[in-house]
Amino acid sequence: MAARPAPYLNELNPAQREAVEVLDGPVLMLAGAGTGKTKALTARVVHLLNTGRARPNEILSVTFTNKAAREMKLRVGRMLGQTVEGMPWLGTFHSICVKQLRRHAELITAEANTDQVVEGPDSQPGLHLKSNFTILDTDDQLRLLKQLVRAAEIDDKRWPARQLANIIEGWKNRALTPDKVPAADGGAFNHRGPELYAAYQRRLLELNAVDFGDLLMHMVTIFQTHPDILAQYQRWFRYILVDEYQDTNVAQYLWLRLLASQHKNICCVGDDDQSIYGWRGAEVGNILRFEKDFPGAHVVRLEQNYRSTPHILAAASGVIRGNTGRLGKELWTQAQDGEKVRLIGHWDGEEEARWIGEEIESMQGGTRGMRPYSLDDMAILVRASHQMRAFEDRFLTIGLPYRVIGGPRFYERMEIRDAMAYFRLVVSPTDDLAFERVVNTPKRGLGDKAQQTIQRIARENGVSLVDGAALAVEQGAIKGKGAKALGELIVGLARWGRMTGDKDVSHMELAEIVLDESGYTGMWQNDKTPEAPGRLENLKELVKALESFENLQGFLEHVALVMDNEKDEAGAKVSIMTLHAAKGLEFPVVFLPGWEDGLFPSQRSMDEPGIQGQKNLEEERRLAYVGITRAEEVCTISFAGNRRVFGQWQSQMPSRFVDELPEEHVEVLTPPGLYGGGYGAATSGGMGGYSSGVEKRAAEANVYNSPGWKRLQERQNQRPVSQPRESRSQVIDLEAVSVHTVGDRVFHQKFGYGAILGIEGDKLEIEFEKAGTKKVVARFIHTADD
Ligand code: ATP
Ligand code: MG
């Protein structure tokens, strides 16, 4: 039966089709933003399934975020025209590795892990990881490291645990177990780094825990030391696909290379200009090395951008051109010209948030000649997560629905972390960190001394803290009220643990029982602080969130892994996220606030001297490129003259990246609050945000004095008056003209204040106070409202 070309192939251009149809051997798709790499990769999965080359469980497909994995699954189903059963190996590096590691955990032993450690008196021979291991979050990790630093009698003020955490993460990103740390790194953390790393790994084993970096590193270790297991996976994964390949680190690269080394059916897609995780150990070199690792690789380049308008694309290309050592790709698009990239300066961060909030509201109805947009179409992408606060506050005030993606997380709140610690203890009673967190929360009369006693007894007997606590009660080492309460906790934990196997109790019911019977819910019910009701609400939310999981363990894993926000409520929402989290996504309307030196590029990247500083700055520039290329139709970049950073007011300079925007693709907007009304009738009402003229003029005076604003003015003065945009709709031009009459006092970005002498079509003759009489285009004029 002659098959018609499947519809999913017809949606692709020839280069994409090539990347989809060359199924055997290594394929590298190297192309700029929005050229359809992810789309082609998805079609490739569909093609593998559709042609019967692979069953769903024989495809290993790595995405960068969990959100991207969900999306790919959905699209595969849609393209295939049926829901995909399985695809168990479609996910992030971490989610796939956690699955693998649970199957082989016992192969991670003290010996494999930490050669250098001299076995201490309390060492346990045959110690190994167990399949119900806990995944530590950064908080637990830091607490643990701090204990180790102090135990090693190192001053943790001078040598903070966080620094050690970064060093260890760096080693793990390179898949360096303690025995493999190179001599050149021996000086790390005042020469104690390697030894503390070994101690940390050992402690993790004792706790039956891993951290994020371990997931990849342990799997690489297992593959390297157990060829039989590697061979099994190599047979299993007949086809491997990787999105966002430019952001893989060494450990991920090794893992992929090991898995692909037999059949070599590996397809990687990426863009060197979008490598933005260097600070986390990603090596853009991986993508450049692909052809060497896989000789004869089929390389596909895509050049047509399907996402953005020409102005947006040109602005992004203009910025990224500032980087050296690029592979250099030219992008083109068939899209209509559309809006120029819009640039606007504000007095401060609050004003920026206010303006963006109001702009979003008016864009829903269609404004300034643009089509109407839904809230779902709009996103605010920030450089640093602390920028989100101003937007969240503002949007809450005006009741604008929003979602934070990957931001300050629900799961990081105190009450949620406490509750999760209880759940962790129920699932794995040896989770000592969880026990430490909740043993005296709510208060059980177990102070520092009692807790030290528990620690000591546990250590002496080589048992977990829960068991140590039981011994302490039994032996009478803890007495009185504390002993009674502790006894109840221990008995409770055992009972709840048994209930995990009880078919008649759902895990949601169990969660509620645990929180009630432990006294945790009661603690907040009796709390009279204003936060308590909110915390109780959050706990309810937590139990609700459990619903979509099979059991507590699955949920705990999800929380440890998934950085995305919890389940969304219905209704359209503006998305707020960091630029890093926005990778691979697209939105019709994108706001890029906070383009100020010190914020973006970040201070850290600017402070570093020499080559490293240059590298950091280039990574920031790639981030700018990622940001602009998320936009399909409207991209608005903004900056503020003043910003409160960590409680301190600072004068800000517009970002150097603002200067790098090619001016022919940029339109400078004027904040209406400054010049009164601004864009005309459609949006002027209430946009100023100043309640009195005096207040407004005071703000204006301040803005003119801020260095950031002066710099924008200088920029404006250096540039010739731009031509009006052809694409702008007639209605708006007429509006711009019709709002002016002879005698009006007006403001022009280049020439300052003046009065209208005459009107000729869309041109105005104006007598400027400083610049003399000039003819200017009406749409560059704003009414000066005084
Ligand atoms: P990024 O580098 O940002 O991850 P990408 O190269 O992965 O981008 P995609 O997200 O796959 O690009 O595609 C960008 C947009 O272009 C999507 O909306 C996609 O549906 C559309 N697109 C891709 N290829 C085609 C095509 N051949 N015809 C029409 N639209 C396409
Ligand atoms: Mg993509």
Q: Which tens digit of pLDDT belongs to each residue from 66-93? A: 888 888 988 898 888 777 667 889 999 9
- Is 38 marked active-site? yes
Ligand minimally distant from the alpha carbon of residue 630:
1
- Is 474 marked active-site? no
The pLDDT of residue 646 is above 60: no
Please tell me whether residues 572 and 467 are part of one structural domain.
no
Six-digit token string for 310: 């020409």
> Residue 161 and residue 148: Cα distance in Å, rounded?
9
The single residue of 37, 44, 307, 621 carrying the catalytic annotation is 37
Among 45-59, 223-237, 482-496, 765-779, which stretch is predicted with the lowest mean pLDDT?
Answer: 765-779
C-alpha 244 – ligand 2 centre gap (Å): 7
pLDDT of residue 285: 81
Which CATH number belongs to the domain containing residue 638 in this structure? Answer: 3.40.50.300
Helix H, strand E, coil C: the string for 168-219 is HHHHHHCCCCHHHCCHHHCCCCCCCHHHHHHHHHHHHHHCCEECHHHHHHHH
The single residue of 244, 339, 348, 377 carrying the catalytic annotation is 244
Among the three residues 637, 653, 670, which one is the final residue of a domain in this structure?
670
- Is 500 marked active-site? no
Q: Is residue 432 part of a domain?
A: yes
Task: Tell me the backbone φ, ψ of residue 20, rounded to 5 degrees.
Answer: -90, -40
pLDDT of residue 125: 63
The pLDDT of residue 116 is above 60: no
Helix, coil or strand: residue 406? coil
Instruction: Tell me the mean pLDDT in the region 6-35.
Output: 93
The single residue of 16, 92, 234, 274 carrying the catalytic annotation is 274
pLDDT of residue 730: 24
Which CATH number belongs to the domain containing residue 133 in this structure? Answer: 1.10.10.160
pLDDT of residue 124: 59
What would the pLDDT profile of 187-217 be if each residue is shown by its tens digit?
Answer: 999 999 999 999 999 999 998 999 999 999 9
> Residue 478 and residue 312: Cα distance in Å, rounded?
68
Q: Is residue 703 part of a domain?
A: no
Higher-pLDDT residue of 741 and 623 is 623
Six-digit token string for 631: 């936009």
Instruction: Tell me the mean pLDDT in the region 430-447.
Output: 93
pLDDT of residue 676: 39
For residue 221, the surrounding DSSP H or E stretch is: helix 212-225
Given pLDDT bands bounded at 50, 70 and 90, which one contains residue 117?
A: very low
C-alpha 21 – ligand 1 centre gap (Å): 17
Q: Which of 342, 367, 263 is nearest to 638 (CA)?
A: 342
Instruction: Tell me the mean pLDDT in the region 291-299.
Output: 91
Please tell me whether residues 540 and 426 are part of one structural domain.
yes
Q: Is residue 136 part of a domain?
A: yes
For residue 480, the surrounding DSSP H or E stretch is: helix 480-499
The pLDDT of residue 696 is above 50: no
pLDDT of residue 775: 75
Domain containing residue 118: 109-221
Q: Whose CA is nearest to atom 2 of ligand 1?
A: 33
The answer to whether 32 is a known ligand-binding residue is yes
Q: pTM (2 decimals)?
A: 0.72
Ligand 1 contact via 271 beta carbon (within 6 Å):
yes
Kindly list the distances between the CA atom of residue 509 and the CA atoms of 94, 342, 428, 502, in Å, as whole numbers in the listed order: 29, 52, 18, 11
Given pLDDT bands bounded at 50, 70 and 90, which one contains residue 2?
A: very low
Query: Is 0.95 exceeded by the ipTM?
Result: yes
Among the three residues 558, 578, 605, which one is the final residue of a domain in this structure?
558
Please tell me whether residues 125 and 198 are part of one structural domain.
yes
C-alpha 7 – ligand 2 centre gap (Å): 21
Q: Whose CA is nearest to atom 18 of ligand 1?
A: 307
> Residue 280 and residue 283: Cα distance in Å, rounded?
9
> Residue 334 and residue 305: Cα distance in Å, rounded?
8
For residue 455, the surrounding DSSP H or E stretch is: helix 448-461
The pLDDT of residue 123 is above 60: no
Ligand 1 contact via 588 beta carbon (within 6 Å):
no
Please tell me whether residues 505 and 585 are part of one structural domain.
no
For residue 658, the surrounding DSSP H or E stretch is: helix 656-660
Please tell me whether residues 250 and 196 are part of one structural domain.
no
Assess contact for 572 and 369: CB atoms under 8 A: no
Assess contact for 73 and 88: CB atoms under 8 A: no
Six-digit token string for 36: 């359809």
pLDDT of residue 58: 95
pLDDT of residue 532: 78
Quote the number of domains for the chain.
5
Give the whole-number percent of the chain exceeding pLDDT 90.
55
Q: Is residue 705 part of a domain?
A: no
The pLDDT of residue 4 is above 80: no
Assess contact for 103 and 222: CB atoms under 8 A: no
- Is 37 marked active-site? yes
Q: Is residue 354 part of a domain?
A: yes
Instruction: Tell me the mean pLDDT in the region 212-225.
Output: 96
The single residue of 424, 622, 630, 656 carrying the catalytic annotation is 630
Q: Which of 388, 371, 372 is nearest to 380 (CA)?
A: 388
Assess contact for 246 and 270: CB atoms under 8 A: yes
Higher-pLDDT residue of 675 and 360 is 360
Among 525-529, 646-650, 666-670, which stretch is predicted with the lowest mean pLDDT?
Answer: 646-650
pLDDT of residue 471: 95
The answer to whether 31 is a known ligand-binding residue is yes
The answer to whether 447 is a known ligand-binding residue is no
Q: Which of 591, 434, 561 is nearest to 497 (CA)?
A: 434
pLDDT of residue 149: 93
> Residue 504 and residue 506: Cα distance in Å, rounded?
6
Please tell me whether residues 295 and 366 are part of one structural domain.
no
- The string of DSSP letters for 347-402 reads EEHHHHHHHHHHHHHHHHH--TTPPP--GGGEEEEESSGGGHHHHHHHHHHHT--E
What would the pLDDT profile of 471-486 be if each residue is shown by its tens digit?
Answer: 999 999 998 999 999 9
The pLDDT of residue 719 is above 50: no
> Residue 786 and residue 783: Cα distance in Å, rounded?
9
Among the three residues 558, 581, 607, which one is the final residue of a domain in this structure?
558
> Residue 630 and residue 187: Cα distance in Å, rounded?
42
Q: Whose CA is nearest to atom 15 of ligand 1?
A: 307
List beta partners, residue 669.
Answer: 344
Q: Please identify, by atom number, the ligand 1 atom nearest to the C-alpha of residue 35.
A: 6
The answer to whether 109 is a known ligand-binding residue is no
Residues 6+ apart with CB under 8 A from 766: 746, 748, 751, 754, 755, 756, 757, 773, 774, 775, 776, 781
Q: Do you find a cis peptide bond into 601, omega within 30 degrees of 0?
A: yes
Please tell me whether residues 128 and 209 are part of one structural domain.
yes
C-alpha 585 – ligand 1 centre gap (Å): 10
What would the pLDDT profile of 86-99 be if each residue is shown by its tens digit?
Answer: 788 999 999 999 99
Six-digit token string for 396: 């809450």
- Is 122 marked active-site? no
Ligand 1 contact via 34 beta carbon (within 6 Å):
yes
Please tell me whether residues 429 and 532 are part of one structural domain.
yes
Instruction: Tell me the mean pLDDT in the region 218-246.
Output: 96
The pLDDT of residue 747 is above 90: no
pLDDT of residue 278: 84
Q: Is residue 385 part of a domain?
A: yes
Assess contact for 65 and 584: CB atoms under 8 A: yes
Mean predicted lDDT score pLDDT of the chain? 83
Q: Is residue 357 part of a domain?
A: yes
The single residue of 140, 211, 214, 243 carrying the catalytic annotation is 243
Instruction: Tell me the mean pLDDT in the region 539-554.
Output: 81
Helix H, strand E, coil C: the string for 670-713 is CCHHHHCCCCCHHHHCCCCCCCCHHHHHHHHHHHHHCHHHHHHH
Q: Whose CA is nearest to atom 27 of ligand 1?
A: 12
Instruction: Tell me the mean pLDDT in the region 455-475.
Output: 95
Ligand 1 contact via 678 beta carbon (within 6 Å):
no
Higher-pLDDT residue of 108 and 568 is 108
Which CATH number belongs to the domain containing residue 526 in this structure? Answer: 1.10.486.10
The pLDDT of residue 45 is above 90: yes
The answer to whether 479 is a known ligand-binding residue is no
Please tell me whether residues 633 and 763 are part of one structural domain.
no
Mutate to test the pocket of ligand 1, among 78, 306, 586 (most ligand atoms within 8 A of CB): 306
Given pLDDT bands bounded at 50, 70 and 90, which one contains residue 43?
A: very high
Among 103-117, 137-151, 258-272, which stretch is predicted with the lowest mean pLDDT?
Answer: 103-117
Please tell me whether residues 441 and 538 are part of one structural domain.
yes
Helix, coil or strand: residue 721? coil
The answer to whether 529 is a known ligand-binding residue is no
Ligand 1 contact via 246 beta carbon (within 6 Å):
no
Six-digit token string for 689: 């945000």
Instruction: Tell me the mean pLDDT in the region 11-28.
Output: 94
Ligand 1 contact via 39 beta carbon (within 6 Å):
yes
* Alpha-carbon torsion (98, 104, 106, 110), positive or negative: negative
Higher-pLDDT residue of 245 and 753 is 245
For residue 774, the surrounding DSSP H or E stretch is: strand 772-777
pLDDT of residue 772: 75
Burial class (CB in 10 A: 0-12, 13-18, 19+), 3: exposed
Q: Is residue 227 part of a domain?
A: no
Burial class (CB in 10 A: 0-12, 13-18, 19+), 396: exposed
pLDDT of residue 137: 76
Please tell me whether residues 372 and 417 are part of one structural domain.
no
Among 291-295, 334-338, 747-751, which stretch is predicted with the lowest mean pLDDT?
Answer: 747-751
What is the CA angle 586-589-593, rounded to 5?
Answer: 100
Please tell me whether residues 120 and 171 are part of one structural domain.
yes
- Is 387 marked active-site? no
The pLDDT of residue 518 is above 80: yes
